[in-house]
Structure 1
Amino acid sequence: MNARDFAMLLSLAALWGASFLFMRIATPAVGPFVTSDLRVLLAGAVLWIYAALIKNQPKLGQYWKEYFILGLINAAIPFAFISAAEMNLNASLAAILNATTPLFTALVAWGWTKEPLNWKKVMGLLIGVAGVSILTGWSPVPIGNKIVYSVGFSLLAALSYGFGGIYASRKFKGVKPLDLAIGQQLGAGVILLPFSIATIPNKVPPAEVLYSIAGLSILCTSIAYLFYFRLINNVGAVKTLSVTFLVPIFGVIWGSIFLHESIYLNTLVGMIVIFLSITLVTNLLPLKTKNNSA
């Protein structure tokens, strides 16, 4: 990975980490459905304009049903769940919980595509459960029902991302990444629209909320997707996956700087334990067995 690609990787992590900051600001004012719907509709429009500027007009008709399904499980559900979770969770905790996505992806792959779970993956999953327990249970902050529900929403969002990743890999072979990104955002926008209309606030939100939604849409979704797909083309999917470790770090940093969120010992320990579990599940930590196979 050269310096330019590494800078792009850091930028991607910083942008995706900032999404939890923006959701924490916007959601209490306009609700999870409006926040999520504006995010995907604006992002889809910006990506479409970008495609037109580079003369790469998207072709969505052939897979329109699949785009609705992908938009549901890889954008509408996880975005709404994370936004709902951040009604009660701080941005730092939400960002770290979202890092469990590779763990759920491994489970979905095992149940759906019969991809085997070797001992490293099983160990990684168990360690991941321990990390979530440390993150949420070993905390100086009282844990009430709202916090428990919100943690559940965050984990369900990660599970939905797991289904979305496997579905996309099976249904969209040969589809241009830009078409895939646009189709997903617009499909999610249509699905979320009735829920968004039903919960639209009765007053204009303050300026910082509007800025947060704009940042969430343009920076954390449109531009971030362009960085993501460029990295996959330049350095491959495995190296791009390392962004999983960087996003929570930036989520904690942005939450601490801009929202003055406290960083407790359990936050750091839980994050490290979850990172360890991800390295095992994604085979980024090469441990040898007796027959030198993983």
Structure 2
Amino acid sequence: MRAGASEFGPVALAAVRVGGASAFLLPLLLVRREAGQAWRRWPALVVVGLTNSALPFLCFTYAALTLPAGVMSVFNASTPLMGAVIAWLWLSDAMTRQRAVGLAIGFLGVLWLVWSRSGPAAARGLDLQALGPVLACLAATLCYGFAASFTKRYLSDVPPVAVAAGSQFSATLMLAVPAYLWWPSVQPSAHAWGAALLLAVLCTGVAYVVFFHLIGQIGPANTISVTFMIPLFAALWGWLFLKEAVSLDMVLGCATILLGTALTTGLLRWPQRWRSAPQARG
């Protein structure tokens, strides 16, 4: 996203991403003879396409114009926190004391990073240039959290390839006209096109087949804990290819968010005597 956003712009890059993913996934869908299952569940697939692709891709690509890849990835690591809250409120997932403490710690980390990146500027007045990219990242993670629970509730019986292909095709239709209207006046370079196609095929097409399979197998809250690994790799790629430095606020914010997420998802457990019985929503 960082490599292609400046040349494509947020709308065009998001459209190329979902369009390329669709071109990769639709033939696979036909070969597997699962197109009928996708068609029968198209309303739900439209919702997933909007909340798991079109909107978050737009938000993160907009943020990529100004925020380093490592910072965006730290915000993205808060996705399991959003998913856990939504799963608790909507799907009545148990909320133990450990999960509640984990959520509190994780969101403190988010607030710390938000303040370190935009707080001083925002304190001097409403500064959308500083605050906008940060809010866009948080909006994207909220969309991801909702989409994971929605998929678990309404599409768990649909094959992962059908969900991935149907949602990407829906997102492509949603972004087609906006991309035409906001297509860059200067043709993007081969470097930007290469980044966009890799983003489409590997980071979206292949990744979402695995992602939707895991949602059906281990649930939304555990599946989106994959974001644990994203800050590490994003900081590494940003340092190698974009010459981005790793700052102290990134390290502290990431450590706090990941600690909270580990407690929330159960990856890190505290002693038995500290645990309490689950508190299901009534």
Query: Aligned in 2, Cα 1:202/1:247: closer, same or farther, shift over 3 Å?
Result: same
Match of 1:133 in 2: 111
In structure 2, how many angstroms separate the alpha carbons of the residues matched to 1:91 and 1:193? 26
Query: Aligned in 2, Cα 1:138/1:171: closer, same or farther, shift over 3 Å?
Result: same
TM-score (normalised: structure 1)? 0.83
- Checking the alignment, whether the CA contact within 8 Å between 1:58 and 1:178 is kept in structure 2 is no
- Checking the alignment, whether the CA contact within 8 Å between 2:59 and 2:137 is kept in structure 1 is yes
- Which among 156, 173, 187 is matched to residue 173 of structure 1? 156
Aligned-pair identity in percent equals: 31
Q: Is residue 172 of structure 2 the alignment partner of residue 194 of structure 1?
A: no
- Residue 39 of structure 2 aligns to a residue whose secondary structure is coil
Match of 1:66 in 2: 44
Q: How much has 1:31 moved relative to structure 2? A: 1.3
Q: Is residue 257 of structure 2 the alignment partner of residue 279 of structure 1?
A: no
- Which among 102, 123, 130 is matched to residue 147 of structure 1? 130
- Checking the alignment, whether the CA contact within 8 Å between 2:117 and 2:130 is kept in structure 1 is no
Query: Aligned in 2, Cα 1:63/1:260: closer, same or farther, shift over 3 Å?
Result: same
How many equivalent pairs are there? 270
Q: Is residue 25 of structure 2 the alignment partner of residue 47 of structure 1?
A: yes
- Which among 74, 77, 89 is matched to residue 111 of structure 1? 89
Q: Is residue 187 of structure 2 the alignment partner of residue 204 of structure 1?
A: yes
- Residue 35 of structure 2 aligns to a residue whose secondary structure is coil
Superposed CA RMSD in Å reads 2.5
Q: How much has 1:25 moved relative to structure 2? A: 1.6
In structure 2, how many angstroms separate the alpha carbons of the residues matched to 1:33 and 1:48? 22
Q: Is residue 16 of structure 2 the alignment partner of residue 38 of structure 1?
A: yes
- Residue 61 of structure 1 aligns to a residue whose secondary structure is helix
Q: Is residue 193 of structure 2 the alignment partner of residue 216 of structure 1?
A: no
- Checking the alignment, whether the CA contact within 8 Å between 2:4 and 2:195 is kept in structure 1 is yes
- Checking the alignment, whether the CA contact within 8 Å between 1:32 and 1:80 is kept in structure 2 is yes
* One-letter amino acid of the structure 1 residue matched with residue 40 of structure 2: Q
- Checking the alignment, whether the CA contact within 8 Å between 1:46 and 1:218 is kept in structure 2 is yes
In structure 2, how many angstroms separate the alpha carbons of the residues matched to 1:289 and 1:135? 32
TM-score (normalised: structure 2)? 0.86
* One-letter amino acid of the structure 2 residue matched with residue 70 of structure 1: V
Q: How much has 1:143 moved relative to structure 2? A: 4.9
Query: Aligned in 2, Cα 1:140/1:264: closer, same or farther, shift over 3 Å?
Result: farther
* One-letter amino acid of the structure 2 residue matched with residue 134 of structure 1: W
In structure 1, how many angstroms separate the alpha carbons of the residues matched to 2:186 and 2:116? 39
* One-letter amino acid of the structure 2 residue matched with residue 58 of structure 1: A
Match of 2:67 in 1: 89
* One-letter amino acid of the structure 1 residue matched with residue 21 of structure 2: A
* One-letter amino acid of the structure 2 residue matched with residue 61 of structure 1: W
In structure 2, how many angstroms separate the alpha carbons of the residues matched to 1:115 and 1:141? 34
The range that moved more, 104-113 or 81-90, is 104-113
Which residues of structure 1 form unaligned runs of 5+? 1-22
